[in-house]
């Protein structure tokens, strides 16, 4: 590697040795690459982790930027896209979206998956057809997937699902748990043999994965929100995740209207409600955590519950700026996600978290560049159930991202300030190479498994428009 960020500083002339998909050694001050080495020109970082994704929202890009409105009017447009998806079209869209993520340096994604059934709530012959489509898509695109199977059984406090939400709902969390268990068992079974719609088990190259490769997919759990899961059913989801030692995520206090409705229904904030029903803890991540009280921040930090900030979506939807510095100071680890995919660029998410805070406080330097890169890498992987990823050190998963230091955005910068260059100057367009498990996934800016990602995106999104 020409230059590598080793967590605290940048070193030139670094050799990373890989064995069985993991880093077996890191050697510095090696000016001449060993025979047979693959040279990565630029700055190499740990692979990035996108801790919060709704893959189908990618089809909204551009169309929801017309006119004005709120989160709630945006949601109606989102429902329209959700109505048109089938297992086949979702596979094709997600494959293209995950390939776009790979081109942006993302080696693992947390998919917050609640689009379970057919429109109107009818079950597919395979009740997990939509989840299997996502798993097959991630495997074809070559990135690691934590599928956060999401419980979504109500429209609001005491309200049944509306016609759009029927395809999200299993009826109650006991039925959700039974379906999620089946998906988790199949995804982690011998070969991890999950089938793409209408086909045989899909993996890069078309061959069935061996048991050692099944770990590229982890099935976790999610509570969509306190408005979508009745309080009496929250513990079912939390216990399912804890019994399996898998991540648990939840949309939390993204909107003030949700807070007000929760206070009216339960006399407490969403954070307090989650705490009272055993949802918070070090394996749990709250997504957004935007509109919080002092007590909420203390509950989240004191329990070690993580915070996934999604600044490009939060600003796109006019949600507000969450209290990320206070949450981190209280003990809540920070990760980053692209959520609705207004853009897919973890460098922009990291940059936005700092710059939003500068606008709010009119002071600079709330996080170092190194801290922001850790949020985009190791902390994100940990939130997705892979604490052994996101660092360049012996024993870690050999997932790497290399950015150019000679683009129009990065040229002329000082290599030893590579972390600052990555966060405050680079974009996803500067990613040149991506390695997952020691195998090249992106080489010289081209995806090795999805030959034409823009075309794949255009065709998948166009098919949805044609079906409207």
Do 160 and 152 form a contact (C-beta atoms < 8 A)?
no
Active-site residue, 126 included: no
Measured in degrees and rounded to the nearest 5, phi and psi for residue 26 equal -130, 120
Question: With contact defined as beta carbons under 8 Å apart, do 180 and 153 qualify?
Answer: no
- Dist. CA 36–CA 401, nearest whole Å: 20
Tell me, what's the pLDDT at 398?
A: 97
Q: List, in sequence order, the alpha helices (H) in 250-377.
A: 256-266, 270-276, 294-303, 311-316, 324-330, 346-361, 369-376
**In angstroms, rounded to a whole number, what is the distance separating the alpha carbons of residues 88 and 84?**
11
With both helix axes pointing from N to C terminus, report the angle between 173-187 and 234-244 in degrees, rounded to the nearest 10: 20
The pLDDT value recorded for residue 192 is: 46
Q: What would the two tokens of residue 69 be? A: 């409105």
Instruction: State residue 210's pLDDT score.
Output: 33
Q: What is the pLDDT of residue 147?
A: 98
Closest CA to 220 of 111, 350, 108: 111
Say which of 251, 288, 341, 433 is annotated catalytic: 288
pTM over 0.85: yes
Predicted pLDDT at 139: 96
Residue 229 has φ and ψ, to the nearest 5°, of: -130, 115
**Which regions of the chain are under pLDDT 70?**
189-215, 468
Q: Is residue 74 within 8 Å of residue 339, measured between CB atoms?
A: no
E runs forming strands in 127-198: 144-151
pLDDT of residue 196: 52
Nearest to 378 by CA among 395, 357, 392: 392
Tokens, residue 372: 């922001």
- For 224, residues 6+ apart whose C-beta sits below 8 A from its C-beta are 114, 150, 151, 152, 168, 250, 251
Is 447 annotated in the active site? no
Q: What is the pLDDT of residue 214?
A: 39
Q: What is the pLDDT of residue 124?
A: 97
Residue tagged active-site, from 339, 345, 399, 430: 339
Block residue for tokens 């428009």: 465
């Amino acid at each position: 590697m020409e230059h590598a960020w080793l967590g605290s500083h940048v070193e030139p002339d670094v050799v990373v040795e890989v064995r069985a998909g993991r880093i077996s050694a890191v050697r510095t001050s090696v000016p001449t690459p060993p025979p047979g080495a693959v040279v990565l020109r630029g700055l190499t970082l740990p692979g990035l982790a996108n801790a919060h994704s709704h893959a189908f929202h990618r089809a909204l890009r551009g169309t929801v930027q017309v006119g004005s409105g709120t989160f709630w009017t945006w949601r109606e447009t989102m429902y329209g896209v959700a109505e048109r998806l089938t297992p086949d079209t979702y596979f094709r869209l997600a494959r293209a979206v995950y390939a776009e993520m790979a081109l942006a340096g993302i080696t693992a994604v947390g998919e917050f998956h609640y689009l379970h059934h057919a429109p109107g709530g009818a079950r597919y012959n395979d009740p997990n057809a939509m989840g299997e489509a996502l798993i097959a898509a991630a495997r074809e695109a070559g990135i690691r997937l934590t599928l956060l199977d999401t419980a979504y059984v109500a429209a609001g406090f005491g309200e049944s699902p509306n016609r759009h939400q029927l395809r999200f709902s299993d009826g109650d969390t006991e039925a959700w748990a039974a379906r999620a268990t089946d998906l988790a068992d199949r995804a982690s079974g011998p070969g991890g043999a999950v089938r793409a719609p209408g086909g045989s088990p899909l993996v890069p190259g078309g061959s069935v994965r061996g048991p050692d490769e099944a770990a590229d997919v982890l099935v976790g759990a999610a509570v969509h929100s306190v408005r979508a899961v009745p309080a009496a059913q929250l513990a079912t989801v939390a216990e399912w995740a804890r019994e399996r030692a898998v991540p648990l995520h939840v949309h939390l206090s993204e909107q003030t209207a949700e807070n007000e409705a929760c206070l009216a229904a339960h006399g407490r904030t969403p954070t307090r409600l989650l705490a009272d029903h055993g949802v918070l803890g070090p394996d749990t991540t709250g997504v957004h955590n935007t509109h919080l009280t002092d007590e909420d921040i203390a509950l989240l930090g004191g329990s070690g519950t993580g915070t996934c900030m999604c600044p490009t979506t939060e600003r796109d939807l006019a949600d507000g700026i969450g209290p990320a510095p206070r949450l981190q100071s209280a003990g809540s680890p920070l990760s980053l996600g692209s959520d609705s995919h207004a853009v897919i660029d973890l460098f922009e998410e990291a940059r936005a978290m700092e710059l939003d805070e500068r606008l709010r406080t009119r002071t600079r330097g709330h996080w170092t560049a190194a801290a922001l890169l850790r949020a985009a890498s190791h902390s994100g992987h940990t939130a997705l159930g892979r604490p052994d990823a996101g660092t360049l050190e012996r024993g870690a998963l050999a997932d790497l991202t290399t950015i150019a230091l000679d683009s129009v955005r990065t040229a002329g910068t000082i290599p030893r300030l590579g972390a600052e260059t990555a966060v405050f100057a680079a974009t996803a367009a500067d990613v040149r190479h991506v390695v997952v498990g020691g195998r090249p996934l992106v080489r010289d800016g081209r995806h090795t498994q999805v030959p034409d990602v823009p075309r794949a995106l255009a065709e998948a999104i166009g098919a949805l428009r044609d079906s409207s």
